[in-house]
A and B are shown apart, each in its own frame.
Chain A
């Protein structure tokens, strides 16, 4: 494989990894010189056209994922019976190798790695991409300590989207991290990634797997039927809160699992901030403790309705019974009256729902907020945590429902709690090219790049022209911040269409023709005025390169003619008539034609004749006497 070139672009180098479905090579992108990682897929996968199409679709999805915690997919293609995927090359090791090397990790370290993976997943999920194959082999710890997810896409095509019958029989692979719903062949959603991350977290903390066995089916079974042991059994440093996080992630039933990766992020951040008092096991749907944000109003409504109905039915039943008793026996009236009074009070106290106004808990410490709410028979629930530049750690940032709203008693009031201020460094990227800027941004870990805005500029193509956030320290509000760049499209065209300059004065031409190099020669003209362009050597309408030389012929105006008495010596051998008169013809070459400029008799005196000629500059004449050429004469009129 080494030195093989794919699609004339990627030159394969040394092998750097392998798996059941593929092998990874270092490679050189011959068009840019960059070193990349290329994953080559197994031959029978590479041969199936339908699969290739699906892989390409997945690669397109994966290419759109740009995030500090995701290894970027650059390209994918097919060449010579090989389907390959091109990714950034990350210098580092897989989490699998890291755990093998370091042993069980300290809880904070493991939670931090899990948090970074979760950030990557959060981004992917919000872009509609589920990983489906989260495992330590797909998590890279690079030499700077950054945590990056890789291998989006293939798992989706092979495990869930495609019936394995489409590409033939295969031997079962790793099932250590597979979610119960995947084992059962059901449709999976983002929560399958939460489960797998839970398993990874367990493994990071203990160095072992929650489910292991002698064969794949044995392990698969356990995911569906067996409760995992507590990680605390293997690592005493794991506290209840962290254990709860693992259990919440690894819940077999979806209603007992984190509803989304966001909820897992909330708990991990709480744990890391030392604020882990509020990390509870998620209780599957029972009357009070539903943690579903969307479902709350529906559930509350259903409960309200149920209670109303029960209330109405109970009262009806009771009244009917009471009437029957009264009708049957008047002697019991006193006793019945007593029961009725007490009974209706009981009903009123337990079944009629009262309402309450939601107090304002924003800006208050959690404990105080909780007490304020509970004093009003409301339930306090912290649903997420965020950094905030203004609100101190442990204080409430926002609440839902808002203060002043009227709700039923026992309603849930959800708050966002502050993690306090957190400053990050925003790098100065103006003037950098996109690749360098992306690198700088990714290094920081808490910044994502928003959609690029391409603008006209004289700067070279792909240079950052401006950034939406100033460089320097920045106080986070939220879990990360998005920066936007204006990027130069590159200087506009290097070509210009030549216009017509004929008829313009040369000074006008010099003003107008900024994109070309002007060369001028001068000529007399009787028809074209002085300083006006007579002709241009490249016709108007021609597209030329900027800076192209264009030659203009500019008029000097009509020739200024000077009259001059010219003396011409007559050679001795010329036959002169007796009265000293010579028939002279003087010719000149003008515009390629041999024209006669003088014809007539001239008096010869002292072997000379005098002729009046008119011209400008230096002219050469050919003198004929008696129609025979005798000599040339050069005259300088100036």
Chain B
């Protein structure tokens, strides 16, 4: 299987800075199949620091781990390393729990994709004109919705949409969710921060994934559409095309 990668990130039209960060295979020492997306949080731009530190630490650790470990183990161990790094780096003694980040990572090889998720950034598998969410959001509103505690309408208008239940860098340890999917030729994988899904529904935009469109056009268009709808948050999109 051949993979094509492309990613874009934009601070949006409302926020002062961009606290999203991504890593995709474009230069060494990155292994060929790993992508990472992180959405940072915290004042005084610590969100920027957190997302970058978590992602870079994660990727470095992943590359350093030997092949005696499964992909899942490598992802989880790298997550622990990233979490420790951000947790101990929290220099704002004023408030504990101040610097953190979400992270969605995906490793593709042959016909398998392994996903890791902490927080409310998402991964989708796009196949046969349908985008299916692979990861589960660790957001208060989403979790309440999934458990049918609140209705879709209540979720859509909920004041606490940006409140998450899990993040990297807040506690000494963190639990990441793992999802494993088989991939086929023609599949696309999309990772995005909530700045994208706040404004658009991927299932309305399947035309973008036509094989005639390049991966960069997919990513750029998705970003542009989010900005056109208001761009209220940082928006980051990572696209993997499986040929």
Contact = CB atoms under 8 A, between A and B. Distances in A.
Interface of A: 1, 18, 20, 23, 40, 42-47, 159-165, 168-172, 183-186, 215-217, 220-221, 224-225
Given A43-B44, A44-B43, A185-B154, A172 B164 contact: yes
Nearest to B47: A168
10 contacts: A20-B95, A42-B43, A44-B43, A168-B162, A169-B39, A183-B149, A185-B154, A220-B140, A220-B149, A224-B144
Contacts of B94: 1, 23, 40, 42-43
Nearest to B41: A169
Contacts of B47: 168-169
B190 to A, nearest CB: 20
B217 interface: no
Given A20-B97, A44-B44, A165 B154 contact: no
A78 to B, nearest CB: 14
A1 B94 CA distance: 9
Contacts of B226: none
B41 to A, nearest CB: 4
Given A43-B43, A47-B43, A170-B162, A165 B232 contact: yes
Interface residues of B, number: 39
Contacts, number: 108
B15 to A, nearest CB: 8
A217 B165 contact: yes
A170 B163 contact: yes
B150 A183 contact: yes
B182 interface: no
Interface of B: 15, 19, 39, 41-44, 47, 92, 94-95, 97-98, 100, 102, 120, 140-141, 143-144, 147, 149-150, 154-155, 157-165, 167, 170, 198, 232-233
A165 B198 contact: yes
A47 B15 CA distance: 12
A46 B165 CA distance: 23
A163 B198 CA distance: 13
A46 B43 contact: yes
A47 B17 CA distance: 13
A169 B162 contact: yes
B140 A217 contact: yes
Contacts of A45: 43
B124 to A, nearest CB: 20
A185 B162 contact: no
B233 to A, nearest CB: 6
A40 B93 CA distance: 13
A165 B162 contact: yes
Nearest to A162: B159
Contacts of B39: 169
A163 B165 contact: no
A393 to B, nearest CB: 46
A46 B44 CA distance: 10
Contact of B98 (A42, A165, A224): A42
A46 B98 CA distance: 13
Contacts of B170: 171
B44 A47 contact: yes
Contacts of B233: 165
B95 A184 contact: no
A184 B150 CA distance: 6
Contact of B92 (A43, A165, A185): A43
Contacts of B159: 159-164, 185
A43 B95 contact: yes
Nearest to B198: A165
A18 B159 CA distance: 25
Nearest to A173: B163
Contact of B144 (A40, A159, A160, A217): A217
Given A44-B44, A184-B150, A171 B141 contact: no
A187 to B, nearest CB: 10
B165 A215 contact: yes
Contacts of A168: 15, 19, 41, 47, 162
Contacts of A220: 140, 144, 149
Contacts of A164: 159-163
B160 A159 contact: yes
Contacts of A217: 140, 143-144, 147, 165
Nearest to A180: B149
Contact of A171 (B19, B149, B155, B163): B163
Given A162-B159, A172-B165, A215-B165, 17 more contacts: A20-B97, A43-B44, A44-B98, A169-B167, A170-B164, A171-B170, A172-B140, A172-B164, A184-B144, A184-B150, A184-B158, A185-B150, A185-B157, A216-B165, A221-B147, A221-B149, A224-B144
